[in-house]
Amino acid sequence: MELVARVAALGLVVAVWLALLRGKVPEYGALMAVAGILAALVARQRTGRGQLVDVSMLDGSFAWTVYQALLCALEGTPPRRGTAQLTGRFACYNVYETRDGRWVTVGAYEPHFWAALCRRFGREDFIPTQWDEARRVEQLEFFRARFRERTLAEWMAELGDAEICFGPVNPLAEAFADPQLRHRGMVAEIETPVGPMRAPGVPVKLSDTPGAIRTRAAAYGEHTEAVLRELGYSASDVARLRRDGVV
């Protein structure tokens, strides 16, 4: 969310569940490809037949609009930015600016999270009116004003352990330093020709065959000669290709 543009003076709430997505279209397609391949493997085990797995980035990204499509079907009107339950219209699912210009997220969508949030702020009267249009603006103004009273660090100390789906909007450097991400092995330290770098680790944890980032990405042209020699080119052939600017 730190990398998403802001609209006017308010934070922009992304219209997908951020715990599920990172926000890049290629990854939507990749996730669907993994699911499709695994499903095809299970089918092969049961039927003995293989099959083509056809996946596109367009299909994968469109599939994530299922919640917005449901709201459209129920309400009869297409969703618009900032007007739906998950795009910043209501106080329970929103982002708020703190006193030091940072941002926090509140994802108290479920009633028990919303009730806990309201009790924490001494506003039990808000509990039964979570989706009440008559009190929507009042609730938004209240929480915007309250969150501006303290810094991000102060709010984290106050609400970090509360059961209200609350958290900071972290820039990348702070995300890499996050103790939970480090505990989960999600920060990989990789040595490269230009020095050490950090990268996201492996998100799927297998008990018997855990994955790991074992090698760095290759530098541009690093393996060109090895590949050409494997294909049968001699050392003089490779030298000639380099001299002619082919590789």
Q: How confident is the model over 163-221, as pLDDT tens digits?
A: 999 999 999 999 999 999 999 999 999 988 888 999 999 999 999 999 988 888 888 88
Residue 215 has a pLDDT of 86
Residue 8 has pLDDT above 70, yes or no: no
Residue 132 has pLDDT above 80, yes or no: yes
pLDDT, tens digit, 9 for 90 and up, residues 138-162: 999 999 999 999 999 999 999 999 9
> What are the b/e assignments for 132-171, b being 16+ CB within 10 Å?
eeebeeebbebbeeebeebebeebbeebeeeebbbbbbbe
pLDDT band at 17 (very low <50, low <70, confident <90, very high): very low
Residue 84 has a pLDDT of 74
pLDDT, tens digit, 9 for 90 and up, residues 216-239: 888 888 899 999 999 999 999 999
Q: What percent of the chain has pLDDT over 70?
A: 89
Residues in a beta bridge with 93: 107
Residue 11 has pLDDT above 70, yes or no: no
Residue 114: partners with Cβ closer than 8 Å, 6 or more residues away: 92, 108, 126, 127, 130
pLDDT band at 86 (very low <50, low <70, confident <90, very high): confident
- pLDDT: which is higher, 145 or 16: 145
> Which residue in the block uniquely carries the two structure tokens 């092995």?
185
Residue 23 has pLDDT above 60, yes or no: no
Task: Give the SS3 label for residue 90.
Answer: coil
Arithmetic mean of pLDDT, 85-100 = 92
Break the chain into its structural domains and give their ranges: 172-216, 218-247
Within 49-110, residue ranges assigned H as helices are: 57-63, 66-75
Residue 21 has pLDDT above 60, yes or no: no
Write out the H or E segment, with its range, that includes residue 199: strand 195-200
Residue 12 has a pLDDT of 55
Read off the pTM.
0.73
pLDDT band at 26 (very low <50, low <70, confident <90, very high): low
Arithmetic mean of pLDDT, 120-124 = 97
Residue 22 has a pLDDT of 44
Whole-angstrom Cα distance, residue 41 to residue 25? Answer: 25
Residue 46 has pLDDT above 90, yes or no: yes
